Amino acid sequence: MGASTVLLCGVVLIHLFASQTDAQRPRSPWKTLSGDAPRVISRGGFSGLFPDSSLDAYNFALQTSVADAILWCDVQLTKDGAGICFPDLNMSNASTIEVVYPKGQKTYPVNGVPTQGWFTVDFSLKDLNKVYLIRGILSRSDRFDGNGYTISTVQTVNTELKPRGLWLNVQHDAFYAQNNLSMSNFLISASKNVSIDYISSPEVNFFTKIAGRFGHNGPVFVFRFLEKETFEPTTNRSYGSILSNLTFVKTFASGILVPKSYVLPLDDKQYLLPSTSLVQDAHKAGLEVFVSGFANDVDIAHDYSYDPVSEYLSFVDNGNFSVDGVLSDFPISASASVECFSHLRRNATKQVDFLVISKNGGSGDYPGCTDLAYDKAIRDGADVIDCPVQMSRDGKPFCSHSIDLSNITNIAQTSFAQRSTHVPEISSNDGIYTFSLTWSEIQSLIPAISNPYRVYNMFRNPNEKKSGKLILLSEFLKLAKHSTSLSGVLISVENVMYLRQKQGLNMVKAVLDTLTETAYSTRITTTKVMIQSTDSSVLVEFRNQSKYETVYKVEKTISDISDSAIEEIKEFASAVVITKVSVFPTFYGFVTGQTNVVERLQKSQLPVYVELFQNEFVSQPYDFFSDATVEINSYVTGAGVNGTITEFPFTAARYRRNKCLGSKETLPYMAPVQPGGLLEVVSPASLPPAEAPNPVFTDADVPVSGSVAGVVMFLVLLSLFLCYLWKRETRQRQQNLKSLIPLKHYSYAQVKRITKSFAEVVGRGGFGIVYRGTLPDGRMVAVKVLKDSKGNGEDFTNEVASMSQTSHHNIVSLLGFCSERSKRAIIYEFLGNGSLDKFIAGNTLDWTALYQIALGVARGLEYLHHGCKTRIVHFDIKPQNVLLDENFCPKVSDFGLAKLCEKKESALSLLDTRGTVGYIAPEMISRVYGSVSHKSDVYSYGMLVLEMIGARNKEKAHQDSTSNASSIYFPEWIYRDIELGKSRRLIEDEISNEEHELAKNMALVGLWCIQSSPLDRPPMNRVVEMMEGSLDAFEVPPRPVLQIPIAPLQEPSTLSRDISVYTEE
């Protein structure tokens, strides 16, 4: 067993690693063929986390699954006849074989199709000892790839792990037979020492070979169905045709393995269609039915609301049938579904007590704060439904999760769009605010469902994306009162002082009056009322005028909370809301530990509610295995929170009823994760840099409570201390930055020595001046000294944090930094040829050089977007930010506007529009083009490429234009001439055919990249393919349209505009 496997066994990722218990199977009758519970089959082990077929993956599957879980091994044969567990015939996808044997690629016919790759038949088992297993699905973590997982034989898996069940899948018997290797002989020989429980294959002829050769107590034979249109190689019949004759299948197999769609098909919108009769028909024929394709981190039917447990239950416990087993990459979820959540009644006894609080109602399934969202939350079992109160111009309080209507409705597409205004007290962006419209005007708007992970092409319930209507607070309260299942309501109030002082709207009075009008102020109703705010003065005001429970929301992420802060909070609040990360801090997608914030608050009799829980797997750290139920379990059972605030109340409400929480012993698939445990198994070389600790919440963070007048006085006094607080926070931020970034830190005095007191200026930009410098070891460096600090230094932090995580041929290498009070500097490699803009303007590079530069920049951006664990979006691609070394190799630089985009983060909700006008994407400015994402960089790249082309012929274009040169929109010129077949005229006369092809290729790629809609732009990995391909490989894109001003702005070139949009998916 490898060192990493030993390490894994020693790490308590789940509290029950130490013991495996035989759980009592549910007594409820199963509608399987045998009447027993469905089997859990782990494909390649726990392959959703660890490299497929690694010993750690297999071991982890056994430790986190039901006791009789079956290990699945895709058997491949080496050229010396050894049987290994590897997920594919071609080894290039999930191993390091390309690196170890770069010349080992060959082409073989596989089912009649010539296939190129690295095949097991060309390597002996000894050869493969040098090859390591790595992730095979790029969307999964690569942090375990460096652990040196060796390829295991079938015998090794059996000997090392001793599984209770072993399933061998033979996918390509015919291929091995063509190469003079016998899979059947291997299996017969292996069965003498290995207990094989199941053998599957999609080839009928294979079962003919092995029929009768295993004896009476041999393995169960399972025929594997591929897609219905695919032809089975030996019968030359489609699998769909074979499916219609299950009696034939029964002659050589005891079971069938089918894709999910064979049982529960989907329509073209990813919604479930009525189930087929396959399971019942197969059972009638005496065949067990196993289903493949279960993985928590792939798209599933919208009907399941991104909840993998719901999907499993639809196959094993739907009231009509139950499949006999599920093949899963995440066996912990399959195990919990079968053992804990099957046969649960909606009125089953709660096994654990905590509040399920909705976030904007059931906003994971309907537009938030609409009547349908609230109905959904109540039906799904929420204890408390919430109403974030906003005020209309005519003083009507209503429920809306944003004061800016452009975030949540189609208002940008209506005549009300002209009411956009800038309110710095609320946002740095312009907005169309609720207090600018009357309630009747607001009622005319169409609400929009929230899609926080649109950048991952994950959309919520598209069929209902514009359903429902916004409702008044009074309607909300009446709805809650008439519900027999709700225990309370949570009314959130923000921006109270601004609305009162600047708009003449008294939100506190409006809320209290509405509560009185709906009889909540009397003892008649038992529904509890909670008032939530981030403003203590508002909570004080409610306490002074009512007896409703008050809840203080801590917006910032904290690592601890002081006793004095807790005492302050207790003066005006009876409960606290904190973020998830304030309980389990995360970094690079992994939980790093657990704070004591919950424990400290609860010791002071303050219940703790945690937000925000979402079902999409990208919202969760890897530690929770892409399963919202695992995450909820860890917060409730592990951290002991008093309530969860969720956009998907059903998942949390169902969790409370699961049978396993009532077990005397904690079962491994229902144990909270050990915080930070998974990081201990990460390859040391892949560990993320040390993270700066989150701040401690102190009494300085809590406004002094008292009367409203007292609060106003406090705010006046507080201004006297702003300078002190700013200095204190600056010192803390500098200390945090040093621990965050694993690079050499230079003092300001050292920076002065390196630059010889800033003697030689080599460049200027929007954020500072670049000087030439020399390190003590003689290396030439560039030193960017930022302008004296303003704000919180976000630009500096972004640049250093972004560049410190990169290592690529086309990205400038960061060597160190300085952060000393207001003095900040970045030290990076010196590139003698300077920036690209001077070469573009001077027309000194030929087309081959320009093409190589454009390709290099594309590769650099591809790395930032797709090659880093945490995607980096640059937001300011332009010629001035592309530096050239002595060989004219381009390197992307200046990360001052970059944004790190962790998977748990939504689609780049920016406070400011970022970038340089002329290169900035339209969605960064306008409300109608789409969401800001990595595709914004693609647009800037396209403009960069077109600038490289157009700048060579500005004079020629100008001569053709009827306007002055400053108004020429070069994409339009380039497109027009390509469309007319005159690309040589605008690109350049008197160049060779080869250069013309390069230039035209660049032009077409650039035009594709600047499409108005981000959805129409190719991602950077596709851009690289297009740049490297031929002109015949892609079509001429649609005509570009001038979307934004192209005249330069004074630096810094950032715009403060609202980027929220209402779009059609």
Q: Which residues are catalytic?
A: 876
DSSP state, residue 617:
G
Distance (Å, whole) CA 267 – CA 5: 43
Q: Name the residue among 95, 10, 104, 9 with its Cα closest to residue 44.
A: 95
Amino acid at 502: K
Of 402, 389, 397, nearest to 514 by C-alpha is 397
- Helix pair angle (1020-1028, 935-950), 10° resolution: 30
1055 phi and psi angles, rounded to 5 deg: -115, 140
The phi and psi torsions of 829 (rounded to 5 degrees) equal -60, 145
Q: If you search the block for the tokens 């709805």, which residue do you land on?
A: 479
CB atoms within 10 A of CB 216: 5
Distance CA(312)–CA(503), nearest Å, equals 52
Distance between CA atoms of 623 and 160, rounded to whole angstroms?
A: 25
Task: State residue 58 phi and psi, 5-degree precision.
Answer: -65, -45
Q: How far apart are CA 847 and CA 992, in angstroms?
A: 10
CA 1023, CA 800: separation in Å to the nearest integer? 27
String of DSSP letters for 112-138: TEEEEE-BGGGS-HHHHTT-EE--SST
Pairing state between β 106-110 and 113-117: antiparallel
How far is Cα 98 from Cα 91, in angstroms, rounded to an integer? 8
* Whether the bond into 864 is cis, omega within 30 of 0: no
β-strands 899-901, 871-873: how paired?
antiparallel
Residue that the structure tokens 């050239």 belong to = 884
Instruction: Tell me if 784 is assigned to a ligand binding site.
Output: yes
Exposed / middle / buried, residue 530 (Cβ in 10 Å: 0-12, 13-18, 19+):
buried
Residues 6+ apart with CB under 8 A from 192: none
| Separation CA 948–CA 946 (nearest Å) | 5
Cα–Cα distance for residue pair 367/407, rounded to 1 Å:
11
- CA distance linking residue 931 with residue 219, whole number of Å: 53
Q: Which two tokens stand for residue 257?
A: 């393995």
Residues in Cβ contact with 239 at an 8 Å cutoff, skipping those fewer than 6 apart: 202, 225, 226, 227, 228, 229, 230, 231, 232
Distance CA 963, CA 942 (A): 24
Residue type, 382: A
CA distance 687 to 484: 50
How many angstroms separate the CA atoms of 381 and 642, rounded?
16
Angle at 1014 between CA 1009 and CA 1015, to 5 degrees: 105
- Contact between 123 and 100 under an 8 Å Cβ cutoff? The reply is no
Residue 770's nearest CA partner among 799, 809, 792, 735 is 799
H/E stretch holding 161 reads helix 154-161
Residue 684 to residue 147: CA distance in whole angstroms: 8
What whole-number distance in Å separates Cα of residue 403 and Cα of residue 408?
A: 9
Structure tokens at 370: 């609409």
In what helix (H) or strand (E) does residue 189 lie, and over which residues does it extend?
Answer: helix 183-190
Classify strands 643-646 and 355-358 as parallel, antiparallel or unpaired: parallel
Which parts are annotated binding residues for ATP? 784
Which parts are annotated binding residues? 784
